[in-house]
Amino acid sequence: MEDVARAADTSAAAVVHALADQGATLAVVESLTGGLLAATIVDIAGVSSVFRGGLVAYSTELKASLVGVPTDLLAGRGPVDPDVAVALAEGGRLRCGADWCLSTTGVAGPEPQGGKPVGLVYVAAAGPPGTVVRRLDLAGNRLRIRIGAVAGALRLLADRLHAEAGETRSAVRADPRVTP
């Protein structure tokens, strides 16, 4: 578990420094991580120049009312869905007035939820070039899954920022079935 936590910390530092270099801002919308993503980000010195804040929308109702996820999407697919992760990231970006927003949604366990297995997680990053979502299939207890989701979300944004720094891209949505 320490390796995953260390990877999250390293990715958080890389993200904060890349955002600072670009003069960009970040927000987060969290479900299964319950504030752990924001806490990991704010552990980095100098974060106040880039981090706008975040929303923890654990209940399905708050995903709709606070973040703006369409109720028909939530009713039809449930909260653990790649399009819900996208809507969370895009809604958080708008509501927090940030250049980038990361979102997390999934099942931390100990039991499956709505027919979705424990460890199924979707993370999304919304930013100027568009929104991308990534599926993670994680193993372990609740804490390990939550830490893995944080690491996966930060890695996704680090990949996006690296790509943006190196080349201009058009808006893209990754295939959510692809596991990094």
Q: What is the pLDDT of residues 142-178, one digit of tens each?
A: 999 999 999 999 999 999 998 887 743 333 344 333 3
8-state DSSP, 113:
B
Count CB atoms within 10 A of the CB of residue 118: 19
Domain ranges, ordered by start, for the chain: 2-166
Q: Which residue has the higher pLDDT, 7 or 180?
A: 7
Domain 2-166's class?
alpha beta
pTM of the model: 0.90
Residue with tokens 């390990």: 144
Q: What is the pLDDT of residues 6-24, one digit of tens each?
A: 777 889 999 999 999 999 9
Is cis: bond before 110, omega within 30 of 0? yes
H/E stretch holding 136: strand 130-137
- What is the amino acid identity at position 132? V
H/E stretch holding 3: helix 2-22
pLDDT of residue 164: 80
pLDDT, average across residues 109-119: 97
pLDDT, average across residues 112-122: 97
Residue 1's pLDDT band, with cuts at 50, 70 and 90, is low
Dihedral, CA of residue 173, residue 116, residue 148 and residue 94, to nearest 10: 40
Token pair, residue 144, equals 């390990």
Q: What is the pLDDT of residues 34-68, one digit of tens each?
A: 999 999 999 999 999 999 999 999 999 999 999 99
pLDDT at 179 over 90: no
SS3 assignment, position 44: coil
- Using alpha carbons, select from 82, 86, 176, 93 the residue that is nearest to residue 128: 93
When the pLDDT of each residue in the chain is averaged and rounded to a whole number, the result is 91
